Amino acid sequence: MSSVSNDLSSNRLPAIYGHFLVDLMRGRGLCEQDVLASTGLTLAQLAEHDRYISGEQHALILSNALRVSQDPSIAYEIGLASQITKHGFIGFGLMSCATVGDALALSQRYLSARVPLFHTNIHQEGGHMVVELQATRPLGSLYEAIFNMVLVELCCLFGRIIHGGSTPSGWQSEIWVPYAEPSYYARYKERLPRFHFNQSSPQIRFPISLLDTPIASANPATAQIAIAQCEQEMAKMVRSELTLSVQVSELFQRHRYQYPDLNTLAQILHMSERTLKRRLQAEGQSYQRLLDAARYQHACDLLHNISLSIEAIAQSLGYQDPANFTRAFRKWSGLSPRDWRRDFSNGLN
């Protein structure tokens, strides 16, 4: 492809990012086949929970969207429309942190597992925190679009985490970019943080005082589950051979809603129950913790479908008594399933 370096083929991103982009373009009246042209992907494949796509494929989807729409401002639209849950367990982890500072530290550690296109350099400068992004691969002609998309999306993400707002401008953030102001920026100016153009590098800046801001959705138990899952996801990106914990998590994903018990899992992995438990313990994990993490993620997925009753969701997750599901979900999230669904349907997701 001509618009971006083939070096991106070595990067992998969750397919949900491509699905989100295609779905947004469909909402603008574009044909999904045009947006997916030459990627070798279908919308059904992008919807597969455990699928990854290459950075090159994602860049080609974006390039197609820009070409077909003839509208470079869609990069802003993508960032503004982003959802916390799009980022998987990193999103849940950020929401569960105690303060903005904790969330920033978590994002710096784990965001590369989801989006390996960037390194982040976080430092203080005067009275501001500076989050500087550095591309790990040449981005070619997509440089400006990708940074517009990612910087706005990150501001939206933290804006929603801090106060559940629908725009990123309410938490005093600023965006610095090393290119000139485009003509379409004026149409979005009121919806975006203040942009500073022709700067030294892509950055997000905000007052240091915000680091101590408490997050209303903080929950230590959920944060631990999310961090455990983030550790597994990071392991996938840096190891060619999967750890046992990741293998178990992937089996739970593959057999979602029909989770194998400990004995069945040991048989699938060709080891004894005792060996399975011992090796998981050596990785700082357990069967129950990994099962809880899978059930929590799947429960959140199902709760977004408002046509499903809480009883039906409980049964799908293997709970014969809905009350047991409610107790477990409250332990994971700090909310009942009904309260979680209500809050997120009001715009927190």
- Residues 174 and 146 reside in one and the same domain: yes
Using the 3D structure, point to which of 25, 41, 71 is the last residue of a domain. 71
Which residue segment(s) compose the domain that 182 sits in?
89-219
Do 113 and 187 lie in one domain? The reply is: yes
Whether 111 and 214 share a structural domain: yes
Q: Six-digit token pair at 108?
A: 């710096």
Four-residue CA torsion sign, 137, 120, 229, 265? positive
Q: How many domains does the chain have?
A: 3
260 and 175 in one domain? no
Report how far residue 133's alpha carbon sits from residue 113's, in angstroms, rounded to the nearest whole number: 15
Assigned token pair, 283: 């990785």
* 243-284 tens-digit pLDDT: 788 788 878 877 877 899 999 999 888 889 999 999 999 888
Residues 314, 194, single domain; the answer is no
Cβ pair 204, 174 in contact under 8 A:
yes
pLDDT digit string, tens, across residues 188-243: 999 999 999 999 889 999 999 999 999 988 999 888 888 888 887 776 655 534 57
Q: Is residue 81 part of a domain?
A: no
List the one residue out of 239, 237, 259 whose CA is nearest residue 318: 259
Number of Cβ within a 10 Å radius of residue 232: 23
Same domain, 198 and 252: no
Torsion sign across C-alpha atoms 323, 326, 331, 334: negative
Asked if 193 and 307 sit in the same domain, the reply is no
Give pLDDT < 70 ranges for the chain: 1-11, 112-113, 116, 137-138, 164-171, 235-242, 344-349
Same domain, 199 and 248: no
C-alpha dist (Å) from residue 9 to 12, 50, 54, 303: 8, 18, 5, 35
Query: Token pair of 257, please?
Result: 């809603």
Helices in the chain by DSSP H: which ranges?
A: 15-27, 32-35, 43-46, 55-69, 74-80, 88-96, 100-114, 143-163, 185-188, 220-238, 244-254, 262-268, 273-282, 287-303, 310-316, 322-333, 337-343
Is 311 a member of any domain? Answer: yes
Strand partners, 246: none
3-state secondary structure of 169: helix
Q: Are 243 and 131 in contact (CB under 8 A)?
A: no
10 Å Cβ neighbour count for 209?
Answer: 12
Report how far residue 200's alpha carbon sits from residue 179's, in angstroms, rounded to the nearest whole number: 9
Amino acid at 290: L
Query: Which CATH number fits the domain that encloses residue 310?
Result: 1.10.10.60
Residue 178, classed as helix, strand or coil, is: coil
Listed residues 27, 44, 71: the one ending a domain:
71
Bridge partners (DSSP) listed for residue 129: 124, 206
Query: From the centroid of its chain, how far is CA 99?
Result: 19
Are residues 29 and 136 both part of a single domain?
no
The first and second tokens of residue 338, run together, are: 């009904």
Q: Please indicate, yes or no, if residue 7 is contained in any of the structural domains.
A: yes
Residues 319 and 259 in one domain: yes
Whether 122 and 104 have beta carbons less than 8 Å apart is answered as yes
What six digits make up the tokens of 172? 């005093």
Position 3 scores a pLDDT of: 44
Rounded CA separation 203/187 (Å)? 22
Classify residue 117: in a domain, yes or no. Answer: yes
Angle at 118 between CA 240 and CA 10, to 5 degrees: 40
| Domain presence at residue 82 | no
pTM above 0.85, yes or no: no
Assigned domain for 228 exists: no
Q: How far apart are CA 242 and CA 232, in angstroms?
A: 9
In a domain, 164, yes or no: yes
CA 121, chain centre distance (Å): 19
| Residue 289 lies inside a defined structural domain of this protein | yes
Residues 104 and 211 in one domain: yes
Q: Can you tell me the distance from the alpha carbon of 246 to that of 310, in angstroms, rounded to the nearest whole number?
A: 29
Q: Are residues 172 and 105 in the same domain?
A: yes
Contacts of 212 (CB under 8 A, 6+ apart): 99, 100, 101
